[in-house]
Structures are given as structure tokens and as C-alpha cells.
A and B are shown apart, each in its own frame.
Chain A
Amino acid sequence: LSLFAKKLLGVGTAVAVLGALIALYVAGWATSFPQSIAAVSSPVSAGTGGTQLTLETVAAIGPKYSPSHPDWVSYLVKSHGQWVHSTDFTLPANSIVTVTIYQFDSQTGLRNPFLAQPEGTIGGTETVDGNAVRVINPEEASHTFAVPELGIFVPLPGITEQEEEKNACEFAPCEPSKAHRTITFSFRTGKKGRYRWQCFVPCAAGFIFGNGGPMQTLGYMDGFIDVV
């Protein structure tokens, strides 16, 4: 081989290797998704059976789950007895899902009070600390769990200022002994598909109108429901 041919071969090989590495990186980035957590299913005959999805909302996710944004508000999901920082959930199609949300965050208030009424749930209600309600005080909302494409909007009332001062949870995961509201509701999943869900309360502390940061970043106050 001539010197020119050797140089050409060397440059060509280097470009090919570099291109392959870039392609691998891009492919890895484009195909990486957050872990999707499956809801727990148990026989309906057991009384409390069916599909159960257990979530918690916290004012600050903490360094354990999010070292880069420990002070961001977030949802977590329970999987095999452990709280997991994921907002992607897997639910079975055409089935009734019961959602339990332990809501540890304080009150922010709904930007649109219309969302104070639960919609799309079975019976058009939710329970707050065991009491069935048709509408909450919009001022007391901390977050919502909403799947617009499925017509599901559920407001989540927050803890009071007194509770926050006395017994607030600092970082996730929050112990049940900390001040919280327990919200439950059920809804029926439809056909298979991927549906996005989000919080409609501008709850991102420190951002303009509360709608930046965790409200604009997948994995905190929004995510996907994979109906399979």
C-alpha cells in the first residue's frame, strides 16, 4: 500500500469507528425509557382484590432518588413493597384499577377550580381519608392525578399549614407517621395504549408560575400509563 492509501485507510477507519460510537450513543439515548412499574393484581374474590396502584406525592424527592434535583416535587410508585422513583405505570386493559395515593405535600391551590371535582372515576367520587367526596376546596389542592385522554381528573388535597409545621415529611420516601392525606379512587382502563398523565397544579416551587422544573420534566409530576 502506498503512503497515501495507508493514510486514507487510517482516516476512514477512524471516521467509521467514531461514527459507530456516536450512533450507539444516540441509539441508547433514544431508546432508553424510565422503568415502567406494573400495578399489583390480586383476585377480585378477595374483597380488596383487583388491580392496585399505590403512589405517593412528596414535596421534595430527596437526594436518595434524585441527586441532581433533591428539592423537586415528585410522585413515587410502590413496587414490591418499595417506593420507586418512576412515573411510568403498567395497567391491564379493560379492567378496574384502584389507586391509592399517600399525599404528603402541602396545599398550593388549583389554577382552574373546575378541576376540584373528580371526573372519570367510578361513581364520580374519590375518598379523602376514608370520606367520599364529590368536590374538594380548590384552595386546598396540592396536586392532581389526571389522564386527559381517558377523561380522568382527580384532585389531591394537601396537608394543612399546621400539619406542615408540626409533622411534615422532608424527603422521600415518607413514613406513614408523617402528616398526609390518603386518597383513593377507582377507574376502568379501556383499550391498550400509552396514555400520558400529569399534575395540573402549578406545584414547582421556585419556578415562574410554578410550572417549570418538575412540571416540565418527565419523571416527576407527569409520566405515562401503559395499558397492556
Chain B
Amino acid sequence: MAERNHARRFGLIWLLATLVATPLVVVLLGPILPPGNGSEQASGKITDNTVLLAMATPVLLLVVIYLLYAVIYFRQPEGAALEGPAVRGDTRIQTTWIVVTSTLVLALAVYGTVRLLADNGAGSGSGPTPLTKPSGPKLPVQVIAQQWAFTYRYPTYGGVETPHLVLPEGEMIELHVTSLDVIHSFWAFQLGVKADANPQVDNVVFVKPTHTQTFEVRCAELCGIWHGAMFDHGRVVTPAAFESWIHQQEATFAPATKVLPPYGRTYLPEPTRRGG
């Protein structure tokens, strides 16, 4: 069989497989991709993951179908010990390869950048001065990491601090993630939030929970002997339930609030008489 026929036949098989598999991947796998629909940002990540999977599907099919095609049609005949013809390069194939892969990578970079900006950081830490901010009111919540627990401070409710993370559904939350000691990482998987918690850094994250739920909170940065135990659950509740809960927290932790430092974007814990 001539080389040209192989190329045409392989191309046709790959094209048909791509036309069938890609929509199936989008329709069947897309909805079950992580991290779920716990927030607008999490839903956005499902969209992004679906797009990436759809773009990766033709590439995967290209590799797998070529492997199978080669096994079937280019296998060495039994008993023969033949050397194949020397390969001297093919300008057309090389150019196509470079153009296609470069286009894919650049398209991904553009898509990722646009999505990151359009979704105000897409649930990731944007540093102390985010490039874009969502419009409208936002509820600031400070996430304070230390070895080995997270606590949460609500500056618009008297600066009360609590060991529990509770958020109102349907409201834009402005998380301020920081650390009092080593590097941690605040990871609220179902909300699509992951942000480094660095000492002396205010890492801002925007997230809008879409429904009442319980979500996991983990540290995602190896931070010492009890890193694995730095695990808890947060809750998204109705706005009315949130108001009731936060006022209860204000009352419960009133003694601690009196000895807390004024709310700040970061803290420099003192004294450190033992360490230094």
C-alpha cells in the first residue's frame, strides 16, 4: 500500500473518532468532572476542565489510533528481518507539527488568562492586590492558618474570630488568606478555592457559594507533623442562618475578641520569646 494511502486512511479514522469521541466526552464526562458546583468559581472550573478535556481528546486519539494502526499495518512480516527505509525528515509534517502544537499551547494560555481575569482569579489566591475584583457588595472573611489549625475572622462583625467557617449562600465572599507561622495552603475543594497561606502576605480570593452545603477544608502545603490533621468542615447556610450564627459567635467569643489585635491584613505575632 502506498504511503499516501496510509496517511489518508489514518487521517480519516482519526477524524471520525475525534468527531464521535469529543462530543461524548463533553456531554458524558463534563458534568461529573471535579470540583463540583459548590460555587460559581467551582462551576467555572468544571467548564475549564471540560474545555481542556475536549482539547486533549483529539491528541489522545491521535497517539492511540496511530499506535494501533502501526501495530496492525506496519508490523514486520513473520520470518523477515528487514530494515525500514531511512527517515530523512519531512518539512511538511514538521511544520504542521510545530504549528499545530504551538497553536494549541498558545490557545490554552490565552484561554487560561482570559478565564482567570474574567472569573476574578477563578477561586485561586490573587495576592494582596488582585488584578480584577467582582462588582457589588462582598463579605470579607479572613482565613488565619497556623500549625495546625485554621481560624476565621469576620472584620465586618466586630472582628470576631472563630474556629468555624460558615458562609452565606449567594453572596460574594472576599477571603483574605494569611498565616501566623510557616507556609500553609487553604483548600476548600467543593468551593473551588485554593490559596497559599503565607506569613506576612494577604492572599485575596473571591468565591460565591451557590447553595447550602458542607464542604471540606484542608491544608494543601506540607507544614509539619500534624499537616495531615489540618482538616475541617465548613458550611454554607442561608443568609438568615448566617446572621444568626455570626451573632452567636460574637457573643460566644466576646472575651477573646477583647484581647485580639485590631483587624489587619496580616499579623506579626509577638512575642516570640522562645523562638527567634
At the interface, yes or no: A217 with Cβ under 8 Å from chain B? yes
Q: A112-B144, A112-B269, A113-B261 are in contact. Are A203 and B274 (CB under 8 A)?
A: yes
Q: Interface on chain B toward A: helix, strand, loop, or mixed SS?
A: loop
At the interface, yes or no: B75 with Cβ under 8 Å from chain A? no
Q: A114-B161, A116-B259 are in contact. Are A204 and B149 (CB under 8 A)?
A: no
From A108, A111, A124, contact of B146 by CB (8 A)? A111
On chain B, the residues within 8 Å of A137 by CB distance are 259
- Which of A108, A138, A148: most chain B CB closer than 10 A? A148
Q: A112-B144, A117-B256 are in contact. Are A198 and B226 (CB under 8 A)?
A: yes
At the interface, yes or no: B180 with Cβ under 8 Å from chain A? yes
Q: Which residues in window 124-153 of A have CB below 8 A to B?
A: 124, 134-135, 137-139, 146, 148-149, 151, 153
- Which of A137, A200, A202, A222: most chain B CB closer than 10 A? A202
At the interface, yes or no: A96 with Cβ under 8 Å from chain B? no
Q: A111-B180, A112-B151, A113-B260 are in contact. Are A211 and B255 (CB under 8 A)?
A: no
Tally A residues with Cβ within 8 Å of B. 39
At the interface, yes or no: A215 with Cβ under 8 Å from chain B? yes
Expressed in whole angstroms, the Cα–Cα distance for A129 and B82 within the complex equals: 93
At the interface, yes or no: B174 with Cβ under 8 Å from chain A? no
At the interface, yes or no: A208 with Cβ under 8 Å from chain B? yes
Q: Mark B117-146, 1 if CB is under 8 A from A, else 0.
A: 000000000000000000000000000101
At the interface, yes or no: B272 with Cβ under 8 Å from chain A? yes
At the interface, yes or no: A119 with Cβ under 8 Å from chain B? yes
On chain B, the residues within 8 Å of A114 by CB distance are 151, 161, 253, 256, 260
Q: Let me know if B225 and A217 touch, CB within 8 A.
A: yes
Expressed in whole angstroms, the Cα–Cα distance for A215 and B227 within the complex equals: 13
On chain B, the residues within 8 Å of A149 by CB distance are 229
Expressed in whole angstroms, the Cα–Cα distance for A215 and B270 within the complex equals: 18
Q: Let me know if A139 and B272 touch, CB within 8 A.
A: no
Q: A135-B256, A203-B274, A208-B275 are in contact. Are A218 and B225 (CB under 8 A)?
A: yes
At the interface, yes or no: A210 with Cβ under 8 Å from chain B? yes
Q: A111-B146, A116-B256, A117-B256 are in contact. Are A204 and B180 (CB under 8 A)?
A: no
At the interface, yes or no: B8 with Cβ under 8 Å from chain A? no
At the interface, yes or no: B92 with Cβ under 8 Å from chain A? no
From B229, B232, B274, contact of A196 by CB (8 A)? B229
The residue of chain A having its C-beta at the shortest distance from the C-beta of B150 within the complex is: A148
At the interface, yes or no: A35 with Cβ under 8 Å from chain B? no
Q: Let me know if A211 and B161 touch, CB within 8 A.
A: no
Q: Let me know if B225 and A216 touch, CB within 8 A.
A: yes
Q: Let me know if A204 and B275 touch, CB within 8 A.
A: yes
Q: Let me know if A111 and B269 touch, CB within 8 A.
A: yes
Q: Mark A101-112, 1 if CB is under 8 A from B, else 0.
A: 000000111011
Q: Let me know if A151 and B163 touch, CB within 8 A.
A: yes
Q: Which residues in window 36-63 of B have CB below 8 A to A?
A: none
Expressed in whole angstroms, the Cα–Cα distance for A134 and B258 within the complex equals: 11
Q: Let me know if B274 and A204 touch, CB within 8 A.
A: yes
On chain A, the residues within 8 Å of B151 by CB distance are 112, 114
At the interface, yes or no: B273 with Cβ under 8 Å from chain A? yes
From A109, A117, A203, A222, contact of B270 by CB (8 A)? A109
On chain A, the residues within 8 Å of B181 by CB distance are 111, 202, 209, 211
- Which of A107, A135, A151, A217: most chain B CB closer than 10 A? A135
At the interface, yes or no: A205 with Cβ under 8 Å from chain B? yes
A-B contact pairs, 10 of them (CB 8 A): A108-B273, A108-B274, A113-B261, A114-B161, A114-B253, A114-B256, A148-B232, A149-B229, A210-B275, A222-B226
The 5 closest A-B pairs by CB, nearest first: A210-B275, A117-B256, A135-B255, A210-B274, A209-B275
